[in-house]
């Protein structure tokens, strides 16, 4: 059976919780696509993915679904690979954030790139949120950490988000995956061992939260 080893690991009662959980993934690139793959293979299939991008050649080094699909919609492509999911092709901006209904979801994974959206999302949905921070420009898997936003260090994106939250006098914590590793390059280089590991770490955190 497809999920027999997951059932063996988690037990029938907890596995049933995974199958009932509703997860939203914002951004299905180098991090989000691996979180999706991990969750789907673990029995969490009630997943909505939201992205507006199409694949290009620069995605081939790190994104599930990119091979053979240059120029095609990411969410539409992934919906064919993972047939039980719900794809939404939508740009993530502040207007979308104000109008989108987050209530149905148990967990929200933020694997998006826009700092303003990440900050406002955190303010609204911190209780359900697991956020990916900077995974580009890094190469050392052992440096990856899972913590809360106000305990992050050595990550420029995390610092921006912390500062914006402090300006807004927002002090609620939420789970993040980050790496304090010093940047290996100036341009936005990336390595799937890191971007994929961020996605897998997020998947593990989602499972832990569901089973709590």
Burial class (CB in 10 A: 0-12, 13-18, 19+), 210: buried
Q: Which of 115, 113, 112, 107 is nearest to 175 (CA)?
A: 107
What would the pLDDT profile of 88-145 be if each residue is shown by its tens digit? 999 999 999 999 999 999 999 999 988 999 999 999 999 999 999 999 999 999 999 9
Contact 64, 37 (CB under 8 A): yes
The residues pairing with 147 across neighbouring beta strands, listed in sequence order, are 176
Look-up of token digits 């539409």? 76
pLDDT of residue 186: 87
Its pTM stands at 0.96
Quote the pLDDT of residue 93.
92
What is the model's pLDDT at position 10? 96
Provide the pLDDT for residue 188: 85
Smallest CA-to-CA distance from 31 within 163, 180, 176 is with 176
Q: Which of 67, 64, 69 is nearest to 49 (CA)?
A: 64
DSSP string, 41-66: HTT---EEEEE--B--GGGTTT-TT-
Give the pLDDT score at 1: 85
Task: Please tell me the predicted confidence (pLDDT) of residue 187.
Answer: 87
- Domain boundaries in the chain? 4-211
| CATH assignment of 4-211, among 3.30.70.141, 3.40.50.720, 3.30.559.10, 3.40.50.11270 | 3.40.50.720
**11-41 CB burial, b ≥16 within 10 A, e <16:** eeeebebbeebebbbbbbbbbbbbbbbbbbe
Residues in the chain with pLDDT values less than 50: none
């Amino acid at each position: 059976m497809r999920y027999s080893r997951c059932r063996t690991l988690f037990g029938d009662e907890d596995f049933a919780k995974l199958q009932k959980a509703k997860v939203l993934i914002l951004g299905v690139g180098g991090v989000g696509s691996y979180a999706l793959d991990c969750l789907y293979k673990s029995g969490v299939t009630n997943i909505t993915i939201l992205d507006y991008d199409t694949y290009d050649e620069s995605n081939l080094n790190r994104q599930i679904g990119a091979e053979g699909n240059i120029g095609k919609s990411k969410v539409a492509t992934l919906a064919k690979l993972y047939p039980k999911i719900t794809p939404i092709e939508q740009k993530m901006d502040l207007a979308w954030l104000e109008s989108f209904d987050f209530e149905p979801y148990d967990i929200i994974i933020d694997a998006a790139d826009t700092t303003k959206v990440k900050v406002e999302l955190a303010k609204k949905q911190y209780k359900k949120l697991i956020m990916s921070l900077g995974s580009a420009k890094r190469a050392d898997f052992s440096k990856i950490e899972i913590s809360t936003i106000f305990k992050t260090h050595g990550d420029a994106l995390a610092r921006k988000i912390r500062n914006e939250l402090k300006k807004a006098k927002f002090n609620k914590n939420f789970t993040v995956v980050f790496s304090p590793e010093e940047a290996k390059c100036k341009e936005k280089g990336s390595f799937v061992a890191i971007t994929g590991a961020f996605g897998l770490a997020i998947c593990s955190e989602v499972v832990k939260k569901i089973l709590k």
